[in-house]
Amino acid sequence: MRRFNDIEPMRRWLGWMWLCALCLLAGCAAPASQTRADLPSWADGPSRSAIVEFVDAVTQPGSPDFVAPEARIAVFDNDGTLWSEQPMYFQFLFALDEVRAQAPSHPEWNSRQPFKAVLQDDKAALAKSGERGLMEIVVATHTGMTVEQFSQRVDEWLRTARHPRTGKPYTSMTYVPMRELLDYLRARGFKTYIVSGGETEFMRPWTEAAYGVPPEQVIGSGFTTEFQAQGGTFQLMRQPKLEFNDDGPGKPVAIQRYIGRRPILAFGNSDGDLQMLQWTAAGSGKRFAGIVHHTDAKREWAYDRDSSIGRLDKALDEARSKGWTVVDMEKEWTRIYEFNQP
């Protein structure tokens, strides 16, 4: 009798473990999408609920809204959606720093606008040069070199440059909640793409480390690239001609050209993303269109309709009229950057 009592607790424990295993295999445990840890920097609220409901609906076998994994395409704008874009687009801050870095090799820039304005930190003169002047700066600092040389310049800048307000590296200015969302989607069979007005080769050197998005899933504006063979060596030279502007109506065109499937989820933050959101939302079946609304003047910036950077006007109106998800950054994100305390 004594021997039976010794082994009976072990039998009961093994029986309990077996029941737990059966429950897990049968799906008795809470679905992963319902656990708070999935999107830890998203406050409980309408945006988080809409995301979880959508993802559950399209990934649950047997659901009337189920979408096969190969069709689970999610696209994200970059500037203002995955990282900050103030006080100006980070790529243009890179271009200004490149003017200063390359100035010793271009003595003519000391007397030639708009480069003179950059070197003398003359903001009024730089503003006066307008869009044409800004484009001249970008062309001078982004072309006339191989793809590898340009990537090396971007890498070096990201290692050394610091944001003018926070003093942090630019890749520290990525949004923690959006990085969590990218991970959350990929864990559920989504393929995530960046579709940005930024230049493709400016983003490709760092997006995989920052977001988990590999270079082949980065779509942006681009300069003409030319294959050249010289003395048995081969290289791709970046030419001073814009080949494609991946902004506004260009975004759906780029999605079709480089992905070949209409996304079922899209996220943006400005009027430049409107057509991408419209194209995504107009497809058949369940769809998700989301907008990051910059409402947090303390931890980030607050701006929308009147901003010259990341203007959100028509897209905000359409989002509200169509029932798209508008993320209130101040209320719905418990933290914004990695260096913020949650």
Contact 200, 207 (CB under 8 A): no
Q: Is the pLDDT of residue 37 over 90?
A: no
- Give pLDDT, residue 340: 83
33 or 114, which is more confident: 114
- Give pLDDT, residue 56: 98
Mean pLDDT across the stretch 97-124? Answer: 96
- Give pLDDT, residue 78: 98
Residue 234 sits at φ, ψ, to 5 deg, of -130, 140
> 255-304, pLDDT tens digit by residue?
999 999 999 999 999 999 999 999 999 999 999 999 999 999 999 999 99
Mean pLDDT across the stretch 158-175? Answer: 97
> 328-337, pLDDT tens digit by residue?
999 999 999 9
Q: Is the pLDDT of residue 314 over 80?
A: yes
CATH code for the part of the protein at 33-87+174-220+247-332: 3.40.50.1000
**pLDDT, mean over the chain:** 91
Q: Is the pLDDT of residue 8 over 50?
A: no
Q: Is the pLDDT of residue 159 over 60?
A: yes
Mean pLDDT across the stretch 315-327? Answer: 98
Q: Is 130 exposed, middle or buried (0-12, 13-18, 19+ CB in 10 A)?
A: exposed
Q: Is the pLDDT of residue 30 over 50?
A: no
Number of C-beta neighbours around residue 247 at 10 A: 21
Contact 291, 16 (CB under 8 A): no
For the stretch 161-177, what's the b/e string if a residue is b when 16 or more beta carbons lie within 10 angstroms of its beta carbon? Answer: eebeeeeeebbbbbbbb
- Give pLDDT, residue 26: 37
> 73-97, pLDDT tens digit by residue?
999 999 999 999 999 999 999 999 9
Mean pLDDT across the stretch 219-234? Answer: 95
- Give pLDDT, residue 13: 35
Name the nearest CA neighbour of 168 among 84, 271, 51, 250: 84
Task: Identify the band that residue 28 occupies on the pLDDT scale cut at 50, 70 and 90.
Answer: very low
Q: Is 139 exposed, middle or buried (0-12, 13-18, 19+ CB in 10 A)?
A: middle
- Give pLDDT, residue 341: 72
- Give pLDDT, residue 329: 98
Name the nearest CA neighbour of 198 among 251, 253, 275: 251
For the ranges 264-268, 308-312, 338-342, the lowest mean pLDDT is seen at 338-342
Task: Identify the band that residue 230 occupies on the pLDDT scale cut at 50, 70 and 90.
Answer: confident
Q: Is the pLDDT of residue 6 over 60?
A: no
Q: How far is CA 143 from CA 32, 38, 111, 159, 292, in A?
A: 47, 42, 21, 21, 32
- Give pLDDT, residue 11: 43
Q: Is the pLDDT of residue 12 over 70?
A: no
Across 218-287, the runs of DSSP E, i.e. the strands, are 218-230, 233-244, 265-268
Q: Is the pLDDT of residue 48 over 50?
A: yes
Contact 99, 118 (CB under 8 A): yes
Residue 131 sits at φ, ψ, to 5 deg, of -65, -35
Distance, CA of 68 to CA of 59 (rounded, Å)? 8
